[in-house]
Chain A
Amino acid sequence: MTKEHANWSPYDNNGGTCVAIAGADYCVIAADTRMSTGYSILTRDYSKICKLADKSFMASSGFQADVKALQKVLSSRHLIYQHQHNKQMSCPAMAQLLSNTLYYKRFFPYYAFNVLGGLDSEGKGCVFTYDAVGSYERVGYSAQGSGATLITPFLDNQLKSPSPLLLPAKDAVTPLSEAEAVDLVKTCFASATERDIYTGDSVEIIILNANGVRHESEQLRKD
């Protein structure tokens, strides 16, 4: 006796990859701009990155309808926070809010794989990585989405300290300079685009530092 399965799913996967890297005084958040469904491309020009607060940007891959809904909920909650506290939410605070918001829908999850990047209250870069139901951790770098399995080992090779035993415990930030980190991100996407069919078209990069926000865009293979 096999169980009957639904012939309709409330979810779809629109593909794409997101990456974030935390630096000593900057944070880089990047995502490709391809949106797909099945083996088709819906658009080559869709932003997966959302500014939640002055110092918090969220990049999400997965089901973009859920991502959009999640972004709206968080933006509204941030407005309420600003009215009540007369200031912007800090990145760690937003990180907790995102986790709570995701777990709130534990039994009908947001199909969103998120990476939150920003500056903490000391001005240091911070990156938080999530699963679909809100489990999160502060890390020095992270990749989520269809190309994550291709990018993460590469970032481990470039950014992870050789051994936790050899060196003293480090901050969860990379020693790279801002320019080097941006370059590394472009390399990541160029490589992932080669082998992941859902990643490509172009990559949108946000660089957050003490001076403010900067945008960069780089073309990727369109096949």
Chain B
Amino acid sequence: MFRNQYDTDVTTWSPAGRLFQVEYDMEAVKQGSAAIGLRSKTHAVLACVNKANSELSSHQRKIFKVDDHIGVAIAGLTADGRVLSRYMRSECINYGYTYESPLPVGRLVVQLADKAQVCTQRSWKRPYGVGLLVAGLDESGAHLYYNCPSGNYFEYQAFAIGSRSQAAKTYLERKFESFLESSRDDLIKDALFAIRETLQGEKLTSTVCTVAVVGVGEAFNILDQATVQALINEFEISGEQAPATASVAEEAAGDAAADQGGAAAEEEAAPMDI
């Protein structure tokens, strides 16, 4: 994509029928650090990479609780993401006030998309520079949506956005068919695996990632660092062990999800085979 005479305004079409400003906006999302989401019938997990600018500063928050049944992970301009989260929270509160029931995720996502579309059709505005992975629960189970800055939205089984998300997407594409029936813990494990893929060899610790879960009987909550680190240790996926060692260690772990642990041991060998 090169600079051309049709990209000054968001309200200018190119002869090929493209809105360059909107496309440039999508690039902003790709610059942000990775965020991934995946879901089963009953749970949805969001995970993101938290990279601080320097050792002195704190991490930027990329996962927001919107309501007990909805959470969002963002990639791109975090400020835009914060503002949109505030909008989503406000919509949920108002809907709950009026109808005494939780706002269905599908509705919220459409409202978000319409809000984003407005910014692509006003000469005095610019599109929101943030992609949102919206994870939520409604009567039909758990859902994951991706909201583009363009105003498009799609429902996904699993998705990854942000920088180096292709690595995570490749992993998710291989595994996604098993997600629907996955247990909560397996889902979280897969999320951590996917995050590790985006780190490209860097060590996965709970200081560089954030994980959040929402599910049937579980309100949206961000897992605390200790829990995440324990899960990472349990699954032994800091990326240093050889496949064989990892499987043995996994079976020896003897955690509560013993059955899933046994089945997972085989799955675990797979990613390291690449």
Contact = CB atoms under 8 A, between A and B. Distances in A.
> Do most interface residues of chain B lie in helix, strand or loop, or is the interface mixed?
helix
Nearest to A73: B97
B41 interface: no
A83 B94 CA distance: 14
What is the interface residue range for chain A against chain B? under 10
B93 A72 contact: no
Interface in A38-96: 72, 76, 79-80, 83
B122 to A, nearest CB: 28
Contacts of A79: 89, 93
Contacts of B96: 76
A70 to B, nearest CB: 12
Interface in B65-94: 65, 86, 89-90, 93-94
Interface residues of B, number: 8
Contacts, number: 13
Interface in B92-110: 93-94, 96-97
> Do most interface residues of chain A lie in helix, strand or loop, or is the interface mixed?
helix
Contacts of A72: 97
B65 A83 contact: yes
Contacts of B86: 83
A80 B91 CA distance: 11
Contacts of B93: 76, 79-80
Contacts of B90: 80
Contacts of B97: 72, 76
Interface string A133-152: 00000000000000000000
13 contacts: A72-B97, A76-B93, A76-B94, A76-B96, A76-B97, A79-B89, A79-B93, A80-B89, A80-B90, A80-B93, A83-B65, A83-B86, A83-B89
Interface of B: 65, 86, 89-90, 93-94, 96-97
Interface of A: 72, 76, 79-80, 83
Given A76-B94, A76-B97, 11 more contacts: A72-B97, A76-B93, A76-B96, A79-B89, A79-B93, A80-B89, A80-B90, A80-B93, A83-B65, A83-B86, A83-B89
